[in-house]
């Protein structure tokens, strides 16, 4: 009869290990449905976002920096990687790519903690075919599609080879003050 308690213990341990996904955030019930309420990822509708004040590029060819600050307004959550950034002009849109050499770390934000990231861009010449005349910035958080929209008031953004290939990048998240 000793084999039964050991088998039950092994089965219980196996079930406990399968109750979380790889991120440790979502749970799966017996029917295979995922419970997203257990996720610890920060959600864009639960953070306050402040864009700027910026060190805007004053003329075509100059580099500008736009700091963005996120304040967690809810329970503890995590950020890892880069924000999703998209700029819009009329019916056109294009992404701002992550910094290629950056190594993002996982940040845990308690309620009212802040994190920042920076958008670096080269100002384009208005009317140039390689310039994207950005008007709106859409920000999303890793693993989500919901966005918050902000007015882009820092001038047109230069493209590398064409307007859709922006000469711009975004840094990974870091704790404010780091």
Q: Assess whether 53 and 17 both reside in one domain.
A: no
**Which residues form the domain of 27?**
3-38
Q: Assess whether 149 and 128 both reside in one domain.
A: yes
Sign (positive or negative) of CA dihedral 72, 76, 82, 88: negative
Q: Assess whether 61 and 89 both reside in one domain.
A: yes
Structure confidence at residue 164 (pLDDT): 87
Output the CA–CA distances (angstroms, integers) from residue 96 to 19, 78, 139, in the order listed: 36, 22, 10
Tokens for 86?
């998209």
CA-nearest of 114, 117, 87, 122 to 99 is 117
Residue 23 and residue 143: Cα distance in Å, rounded?
11
CATH (domain of 55): 2.60.40
- Which tens digits make up the pLDDT trace of 6-39? 433 333 333 333 333 333 333 333 444 434 445 6
Helix/strand/coil for 6: helix
Tokens for 19?
């109750």
Q: Assess whether 81 and 141 both reside in one domain.
A: yes
Residue 154 and residue 134: Cα distance in Å, rounded?
8
pTM (two decimals): 0.75
């Amino acid at each position: 009869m000793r084999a039964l308690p050991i088998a039950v213990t092994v089965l219980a341990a196996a079930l406990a290990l399968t109750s979380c996904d790889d991120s440790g955030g979502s749970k799966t019930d017996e029917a295979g449905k995922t419970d997203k309420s257990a996720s610890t990822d920060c959600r864009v509708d639960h953070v306050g976002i402040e864009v700027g004040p910026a060190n805007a590029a004053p003329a075509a060819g100059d580099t500008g920096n736009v700091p963005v600050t996120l304040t967690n307004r809810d329970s503890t959550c995590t950020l890892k990687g880069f924000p999703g950034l998209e700029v819009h002009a009329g019916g056109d849109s294009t992404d701002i790519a992550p910094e290629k050499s950056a190594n993002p770390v996982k940040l845990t934000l308690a309620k009212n903690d802040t994190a920042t990231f920076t958008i670096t861009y080269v100002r384009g010449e208005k009317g140039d075919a390689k310039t994207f005349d950005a008007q709106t910035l859409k920000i999303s958080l890793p693993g989500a599609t919901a966005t918050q929209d902000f007015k882009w008031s820092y001038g047109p953004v230069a493209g590398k080879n064409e307007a859709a290939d922006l000469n711009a990048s975004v840094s990974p998240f870091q704790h404010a003050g780091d």
